Structure 1
Amino acid sequence: MWDMFLNSLKLFFKGKLFRDPRAVFRKWLIGFLASLIAVIVLAKAGLPIGWTVVIAALGTGLLQPYLFKDLKYN
């Protein structure tokens, strides 16, 4: 299991893990920006920082399967 993880990590950093690395980065960026916007909006709404982070992380975590559903590996 550890060897599989290390092999995937090596392929990722070489840019050979995904068929379209630019699409993966674009989808990751969408998730990151959604999380950032959620944190800013919730903080401006006056929620405590702990709740803000938990709600934003939960929302972004629920968004990830939708974003990465069509991800293709090499």
Structure 2
Amino acid sequence: MAEVESPLKLSGAPPPPEGVGGGHCSEISTELIRSLTELQELEAVYERLCGEEKAVEKELDALLEQQNTIEIPACS
């Protein structure tokens, strides 16, 4: 079996810095995912996507914590 590339190599780009997001799509293209045929490659990409999902959930939680502050109008 061929040696498995790391998720970093599979994505073709380094992961974004911690806390960076703001609506960016995954670093892994749909075309790349569709081209994968080896189970180990698919598992590596899946792990990378799971990591991205956790980062998005963390960012969403932080935004939701700010929701009340944003929605409460300032007293004039």
Q: How high is the TM-score relative to the length of structure 2?
A: 0.37
Higher relative contact order (CA 8 A, sep 6+): 1
Higher Cα radius of gyration: 2
